[in-house]
Amino acid sequence: MQDQTLQAVEMVSKFKENTAKERRNAIRRVFRYIKGTSSVALCFEGTKLVVKGYVDPNFVGDPDKRKFTIGYAFTLARRAVSWLSKLQNVVVLSITKAKCIPATQASKETILIQRLMGELRHKQQKLIVYCES
């Protein structure tokens, strides 16, 4: 939830200097969304609270600039709790490196999720991350 709000605010803030009517309406929608969902929370039931991650590099993210898009998603009890889709700012010359970068980003997120789960008193010995190839 917080990630969605941050993403929406980030997208709208790029256009804060542009006072076009569409941009002002987009900003108003974001603020209405934040106000209307401030009391919403995710609830997880059951005993199988397993965190799994999925990583996928897209090598054709921006073929003109030779940059690629990374994407990952993490689920808890089969519900998405963290995700990212981002055009990388580096040019990669080998497929091996292109696969290592998103795996590294997902590994960082794995550590953060594991710490959060520990703070919530849920210990999972291994976090499973599926990566293409």
Distance, CA of 91 to CA of 96 (rounded, Å): 13
Write phi, then psi, for 73 (nearest 5 degrees): -145, 140
Report the range of poorest mean pLDDT among 6-20, 53-67, 77-91.
6-20
On the question of pLDDT at 129 being above 60, the answer is yes
Predicted pLDDT at 120: 79
12 band by pLDDT with thresholds 50, 70 and 90: low
On the question of pLDDT at 118 being above 70, the answer is yes
Instruction: Give the pLDDT confidence of 90-104 residue by residue, as tens digits.
Output: 777 777 777 777 888
Domain positions in the chain are 2-36, 51-131
Q: Taking residues 88-117, what's their average pLDDT? A: 80
Distance, CA of 72 to CA of 130 (rounded, Å): 10
Predicted pLDDT at 14: 62
Reported pTM: 0.60
On the question of pLDDT at 82 being above 80, the answer is yes
Q: What is the largest CA-CA distance in the chain?
A: 51
Chain mean pLDDT for the chain: 76
106 band by pLDDT with thresholds 50, 70 and 90: confident
On the question of pLDDT at 2 being above 60, the answer is no
